[in-house]
Amino acid sequence: MATLKDVAALAKVHPSTVSRVLRSVENVPITEETRKRVIAAAKSLDYQPDQRARALRLGKSNTIGLIIPDISNPFFAEIAKSIEQESYDSGYTLVVCASNEDQEKEIDFVHNLISRGIDGLIIAPVQDSYEHLVDLKKRNYPFVLVDRCFDEFETNAVVSDNEAAAFEAMEYLKDLGHKRIGFLSGRSTIYTIRKRRQGYQKAVDLFGLDKDDALVSAGGFTFEEGYSETLKMLSLAHPPTALLIAGNRITFGALKAFVEKGLTIPDDISIIGFTDSIV
């Protein structure tokens, strides 16, 4: 890799001059002839400024970090894609890290990314703890949460109104005539899940629907868990006639259970799932 020094040597000027020519800004006057010589030299050496050196000197890296719990989940992958596109268009490079729903790893990534001189951070937190985020806030480090935030800790965040969404979905199912609606949950420590469940409960109460703990599953986000929890619910003495499902993978698991039980949608059972994804 050619450095400023190499270009300077070739153009027979001082490195600082090369820098000034190449950044071109500033009100420092440069002879047209020098400028041409420098540009030619830079081109002939295929000079690319060393970003880590720039970042070190400037205290700015034009890079932002994104930490998501699971890159292989289309929901987060889609988020990553959008952020990446927007970053790229704004001249930023995005560093995507996958915490894999592991709190330790997330904390690791936060430290690691900061020490790399990242300009800002976007996090979909694991939500097993948040001291590291409190710390970020205290240090005035720019970061934004996405998809998940904390009730007890105020931050900038981009989230959906999960409670209202769940409530609306329930209302729709109620209007279809359903009285006994199951709720397939995900990890209940997570913001989105808690809110969706609140919406579900609110609807159950308000609409006078069947209130039964057996109609609310616990569990995680996986396909397998969705499958087994659905089977469990379908084999109840009074199975639900509709399901509200709090995650895309869980939904696919439920579908598998339906197929296995020979149930058809919407004839035998109705479902509404969160986080739609075709593929």
Number of H helices, E strands in the chain: 11, 8
Q: Is 228 in the site for a second copy (CB under 8 A)?
A: no
How many CB atoms are closer than 10 A to CB 110? 24
Q: Which is nearer to a second copy, 4 or 204 (CB)?
A: 4
User: Which of 24, 40, 43, 53 lies at the binding interface for DNA (CB under 7 A)?
Assistant: 53
How many CB atoms are closer than 10 A to CB 25? 7
Provide the token pair at 246.
Answer: 């709090």
Provide the token pair at 32.
Answer: 């047209």
Stretch that binds DNA, among 31-39, 101-109, 143-151, 191-199 (CB under 7 A): 31-39
Bridge partners of 97? 67
Q: Write out the binding residues for a second copy, residues 104-123 only, by CB under 8 A.
A: 105, 111-112, 114-117
Q: Is 39 in the site for DNA (CB under 7 A)?
A: no
User: Residue holding tokens 């948040």?
Assistant: 130
Alpha-carbon span 94 to 121, nearest angstrom:
10
Q: Is 113 in the site for DNA (CB under 7 A)?
A: no
Q: Which is nearer to DNA, 32 or 152 (CB)?
A: 32
Alpha-carbon span 202 to 166, nearest angstrom:
9
User: Which of 150, 172, 207, 223 lies at the binding interface for a second copy (CB under 8 A)?
Assistant: 223
Q: Is 36 in the site for DNA (CB under 7 A)?
A: no
Task: Look at residue 16 and give the partner it binds from DNA, a second copy, none, a contact being a CB closer than 5 to 8 Å depending on partner kind.
Answer: DNA
Q: Which is nearer to a second copy, 99 or 201 (CB)?
A: 99
40-to-9, 33, 35, 45, 171 alpha-carbon distances in Å? 12, 11, 8, 9, 69
Alpha-carbon span 182 to 200, nearest angstrom:
9
Q: Which is nearer to a second copy, 212 or 276 (CB)?
A: 276
Task: Look at residue 228 and give the partner it binds from DNA, a second copy, none, a contact being a CB closer than 5 to 8 Å depending on partner kind.
Answer: none
Alpha-carbon span 121 to 126, nearest angstrom:
15
Q: Which is nearer to DNA, 34 or 222 (CB)?
A: 34
Bridge partners of 95? 65
- Residues in contact with DNA by CB under 7 A are 1, 3-5, 12-17, 19-20, 22-23, 26, 28-31, 33-34, 47-50, 53-54, 56-59
